[in-house]
Amino acid sequence: MDKTQLKTQKFIVKFFPEVMIKGTKAKRQMINQIYNNIKSLMDKISEDITIKKFFDKVEVVCAIEVVDEVRQKLIQTPGVELVLEAIQIDNVSTLDEIKVKVNEFMGGEIEGKTFVVRAKRSGTHEFKSTNIEQTVGGYMLANNDTKGVKLKDAEVTINLELIEKQLNIITYRHKGLGGFPIGTQGSILSLMSGGFDSTVASYLTMKRGVKTHFIFFNLGGVAHEIGVKQVAYYLWNKFGSSHRVSFISVPFEDVVTEIFRSTNESYMGVTLKRLMFMAASKIADNMKIDAIMTGESIAQVSSQTLRNLALIDQVTKKLVLRPLCTMNKPEIIDIAENIGTRRFAETMPEYCGVISKNPVTHGSFDKMEQEAKKFDYSVLDKAIENSKETYVDKMVDNINDEVGQLEVVNDIAGKNYTIIDIRQGQNCLEIADVEILKIPFYNLKKEFKKLPLEKEYLLYCDKGILSQLHGQYLRDSENYTNIKVYRPKEK
């Protein structure tokens, strides 16, 4: 039987080793949470996906049509160490049945190659794992044109798991995200600027199982906010969508104006960070969150010396986490590249730097106290009062309310549109007799300037969300009016 004839695909999800060495109660809690998180994610893909929980793994069986989406979600789920793809064969009880079934599915994989068979079993059988390996290996060697069995460094390793009468042939192994499942380590409020540091820091807490909410201090207008919402949505959708989290936007333009009025220019940068911490702490109180987080790294900028960090931390009683504090910038950029946020960060303006003129690098506690007394904190209170909270999964609706929704086109028949496929790493959309351009979202701003302005363009992505965000960004930052969103009707 050809593997392509299979109608379903089985995934075996192995847990992060640190989960398995926990005490009985903590381990049970984490395994239950991983199961619940996977179920939540799978339910969003299809109601027909079957999920089973065991003491050391979770098994997921899905239709072939959704394999790619299921695989990607499992690999990116915190708490998962390995994702194995397997062919499941039921009701096999003898070595003869096993050898025939394995050869049926895997014989073609070893043609012209060296191979080895590795087997594990659990349950009651009249044979051992080594018997499976020897019997299957000998049968496949006799029935296929191979270069022979090679116990070490073979070109193909055939991995088998026999559980009572169920045989699993492992076809692929994928490295998981690791860490702990979201929902087991509490919540944190991440100060999000949209640059390299804050996005990587947020990813690291999500990976560690911390439910990560986002707070954004708006210094750069609507376009900047849309840009930050793009990357917040991206992070949540990729690594944390098993849980609902919030995005809080705090208008900070008047706060900056008050800093210029009241504060010595060398202390402006530290003062800005202190005020952000004060606002974040009050909002975290309202959300019943015990910790706040930043992407600060020691000595990266003037406000991030040890002394200045100490001055900043004075204003809050919250636990402050800085996951990147000892990382170098190249290390941070490498992580951003791996998780897909580098393209966002490279086009994100750094507004915090606009007031860092002649900054102090080793601030004085006494001087800071004097500067702090000059500030009118009613301005900060008003900014907090005017903050807006929305769930990240409702982000586009929230943006639409604020800046107006781009028109969504469902049917392009008989119309002269040019479609721009903004997805990253996927084959370009194809529609007969329609001009379609492939411009990944991270190149859109630069490449759109080169396109004929007299044409009308439809932005396309899988769900229409990033198309809305990027389209609104182009409209509000560059004043383009010839952009709509293409979202074909579901079949």
- Residues belonging to the active site: 461
What distances in angstroms separate CA 461 from CA 447, 448, 486, one per listed residue? 17, 16, 8
Could you tell me which residues are beta bridge partners of residue 436? 419
Backbone angles phi, psi at 33, to 5 degrees: -70, -40
Residue pair 187/289 in contact by the 8 Å Cβ criterion: yes
Please tell me whether 138 is known to bind a ligand.
no
Could you tell me which residues are beta bridge partners of residue 84? 12, 173
Counting Cβ atoms within 10 Å, is residue 396 exposed (0-12), middle (13-18) or buried (19+)?
Answer: buried
Within a 10 A sphere around the Cβ of 136, how many other Cβ atoms?
23
Please tell me whether 141 is known to bind a ligand.
no
State the Cα–Cα distance between residues 27 and 232, nearest whole angstrom: 30
Residue pair 484/411 in contact by the 8 Å Cβ criterion: no
Please tell me whether 192 is known to bind a ligand.
yes
Please tell me whether 415 is known to bind a ligand.
no
Neighbouring residues of 333: CB distance < 8 A, sequence distance ≥ 6 = 196, 342
State the Cα–Cα distance between residues 97 and 117, nearest whole angstrom: 16
Within a 10 A sphere around the Cβ of 87, how many other Cβ atoms?
20
Counting Cβ atoms within 10 Å, is residue 142 exposed (0-12), middle (13-18) or buried (19+)?
Answer: exposed
For Cα atoms 200, 31, 179, give the angle at the middle one, nearest 5 degrees: 20
Residue pair 376/474 in contact by the 8 Å Cβ criterion: no
Please tell me whether 348 is known to bind a ligand.
no
Q: Which residues of 143-177 are buried (b: 16+ CB within 10 A; e: fewer)?
A: ebebeebeeeebebebbbbbeeeebbbbbeeeebb
Q: Tell me the binding residues for ATP.
A: 191-192, 273, 295, 304
The binding site comprises 191-192, 273, 295, 304
